[in-house]
Amino acid sequence: MKSSNKRWLAGAMASSLLLTVLAGCGSSNSNENAGSNNSAKSDNTASTDQTNAASSNNTAADNKPAEKKLLKFWTSSPEIAKADAPGVKAIRDKFGVDVEFVPTGGEGFKEKVNLMISSGDIPDWMKEPSFTDYDKYLQQGIIAAIPQELIEQNMPKYVEWLKRFLGDDPFKYVRRDGKIYALPVIWDIGIDGLDLGFREDWMKKVGVTKTPETIDEMEDLLTKFRNDDPDGNGKKDTYGMTASGENIESMFSSVFGAFDSYPNIFREKDGKVVRGEIEPGAKQALEVLNRWYKKGIIDPEFVVNKGNNVEDKVLTDKVGAIEYYWWSFLPGTAFLGGEQWYDKLKAKHPDFNFAITGGVKGPDGKYGISQYNPAYASGVVFGKQLADDQDKMVKYMQVFEASQFEPDIYEKLNFGEKDQQWKLGDKGTVEYLGAFTDEKERQKLGLGSYSMSGSFNDYDFQTSYTSDASLRKLAQDTRAKGTRNIDILAPFNKPVYNETQDKLKQYTTQSFIDFITGRKSLNDFDSFVAEWKSMGGDKVMEEAQQVYDTNLKK
């Protein structure tokens, strides 16, 4: 996922759940006993003793255990990734393979892989090339097709996970000419991660007991947050809501959602691809936001706010409503761990809580918040040489499945042997035992939050080890509030859009800020749309429709 698309995620995800382990490379150590067998069988004219000796040698060769496949995994943290770690040993034993870790060499890993490819030493597998690079690899003929039946047979839990977020055809984004060339990767909490949170303690102070369900109810509440001194300090120094003007997708997205218009993403309506910023609903949303700005209920500094400014205003009691990741609205122990916004505000205000919703309804009952397409990159691709060594391809898939979705292997990799290095505590979370409460001791044994693939993170599964069991239902219910309004074309290559997107986004962002603040009249909205199209937007929409018709139209 691109850093610009994380929306301050680094602050919200206080502790990373995984250490990126990238690609496996190298040549196959396949069995080459056939050559010696043939030479032994070739001398049919030798003496009886020689023939018997050859026969005896052949029998010994036939009975010799098949040479194990050597699977290689790149790692950015060789101090943790150890071939004799409990989880790695379990993988070797279960799948009959040898495992080798190779350091990535830091940030130059992509260049390192490209150099290997150009020299003809194609890695066994590569992790998460962008969709643009994915198509380049395919054109260059350096990656292997992956039969869908092999994926379904050897990675059933992985496929089920994909379907929960991508639908019945989880391979739609990586299929080319009817074939699959990647094991798709997704950021599953991106598709429903953003919610709208209101300060529930402030609601009580201003006499509101019901979480807003409509845009009008939201306006009434935000007005009270501005005018009725919800923080009780006797000053008019609070605002209803703030945002960051640097990201058009997330800037007051719930207001645009109330009018079914999501800026800067491609969506489909009745078979036609649409763009939220040029839809009529965008003008209606801007009219609301302009009214709120004039009333003073929007933080006027939203124009210059960065992510850290927004967080500061939430945590210093300056705003009563915010769109953000839902797990930040809950205790850290409910999902990812660490100290979230909830914990920081609760420490200051014992009666604090967030009232959380997926959005507020507009005049036609529409609601939602712009989310991320979970398919942020292509996935794991196999080098072309594995097309001729499907046994090895299968072994890799089996390891990926086991290390990410099977409790036994996942636990051994990340925590060690149960009841030796760790146990489940009273709250249902991992508790380390004895010396292994020290991270350095765990690292010596090769324990740490890493995966063999560096991908395929099922957060519901993984957080079952880090979240308080009594809070998991709360997390599930809160997550379920999120709406899945995503850019349906994000995973597809769009050359025209790629050339044009920066100037279109910059023009849209500045124009919308001007409309909200009144520097530009909303009577000029149609002129904005016309200019957007003349700047290349019309060609962008033509291309987008073609991409949709080719790849997604049913």
- Residue 104 has what pLDDT? 77
Structural domain contains residue 542: yes
Residue labelled with tokens 């369900």: 213
Nearest to 322 by CA among 177, 217, 431, 195: 195
Q: Do the bridges between strand 175-176 and strand 179-180 make them parallel or antiparallel, or are there none, so unpaired? A: antiparallel
Residue 490 gets which letter from DSSP? T
d(CA 171, CA 489): 14
The total of other beta-carbon atoms located within 10 Å of residue 416's CB is 22
One domain, residues 324 and 364: yes
Tokens (6 digits) for 440:
């350095």
- Residue 49 has what pLDDT? 44
3-state SS, residue 191: coil
- Residue 24 has what pLDDT? 36
Nearest to 435 by CA among 449, 450, 420, 448: 420
CB 152 within 8 A of CB 161: no
pTM: 0.86
Residue labelled with tokens 């400014």: 309
Q: What are phi and psi of 410, to 5 degrees?
A: -60, -45
One domain, residues 351 and 396: no
One domain, residues 367 and 500: yes
d(CA 2, CA 429): 31
- Residue 64 has what pLDDT? 59
Q: What are phi and psi of 70, to 5 degrees?
A: -100, 115
- Residue 450 has what pLDDT? 66
Under-50 pLDDT residues of the chain: 1-61
Nearest to 324 by CA among 211, 208, 198, 467: 198
The full 3-state SS of 456-472, as one line of letters, equals CCCHHHHCCCCCCHHHH
One domain, residues 254 and 343: yes
Structural domain contains residue 136: yes
DSSP 17-84: S-B------S------HHHHHHHHHH-TTS-HHHHHHHHHHHHHHHHSPPPPEEEEEEES-TTT--TT
CB 318 within 8 A of CB 299: yes
Structural domain contains residue 161: yes
Structural domain contains residue 180: yes
Nearest to 372 by CA among 277, 493, 249: 249
Structural domain contains residue 10: no
d(CA 461, CA 414): 13
CB 276 within 8 A of CB 263: yes
Length of the chain: 554
The total of other beta-carbon atoms located within 10 Å of residue 208's CB is 20
Distances (CA, A) of 504 to 260, 342, 545: 20, 36, 18
At 383, the amino acid letter reads G
Nearest to 382 by CA among 174, 101, 157, 80: 174
One domain, residues 182 and 255: no
At 178, the amino acid letter reads G
- Residue 106 has what pLDDT? 62
Structural domain contains residue 543: yes
- What domain range is 220 assigned to? 194-371+484-552
At 76, the amino acid letter reads S
177: left (phi over 0), alpha (psi -120 to 50) or beta: left
* Alpha helix positions (H), 81-170: 86-95, 109-118, 131-140, 148-154, 156-166
Tokens (6 digits) for 447:
């324990």
- Residue 8 has what pLDDT? 42
3-state SS, residue 454: coil
Give the containing element (helix H, strand E) for 498. helix 495-517
At 552, the amino acid letter reads L
Nearest to 253 by CA among 278, 223, 224, 277: 277
d(CA 509, CA 503): 10
**CA dihedral over 464, 466, 470, 476, signed as positive or negative:** negative
Tokens (6 digits) for 331:
């205790």
- Residues whose CB falls within 8 Å of the CB of residue 127, separated by 6 or more in sequence, listed in order: 20, 22, 23, 74, 380, 453, 454, 455
Q: What are phi and psi of 266, to 5 degrees?
A: -90, 130
CATH code: domain of residue 361:
3.40.190.10
**Helix pair 280-295, 215-227: axis angle to 10 deg:** 20
> How many domains, the chain?
2
Tokens (6 digits) for 84:
């004799």
Tokens (6 digits) for 59:
């029998």
For residue 524, how far is the Cα from the chain centroid?
Answer: 38
* Residues 367-400 as b or e (16 or more Cβ within 10 Å = b): bbbbbbbbbbbbbbbbbebbeebeebbbbbbbbb
One domain, residues 85 and 218: no
3-state SS, residue 128: coil
Tokens (6 digits) for 37:
């067998």
Structural domain contains residue 464: no
One domain, residues 219 and 335: yes
One domain, residues 363 and 498: yes
Q: Do the bridges between strand 97-103 and strand 354-357 make them parallel or antiparallel, or are there none, so unpaired? A: unpaired
One domain, residues 147 and 208: no
Structural domain contains residue 5: no
- Residues whose CB falls within 8 Å of the CB of residue 19, separated by 6 or more in sequence, listed in order: 75, 76, 77, 80, 448, 449, 450, 454
One domain, residues 417 and 533: no
Q: What are phi and psi of 319, to 5 degrees?
A: -135, 150
One domain, residues 210 and 356: yes
One domain, residues 347 and 445: no
Distances (CA, A) of 471 to 144, 270, 335, 424, 468: 44, 40, 8, 16, 5
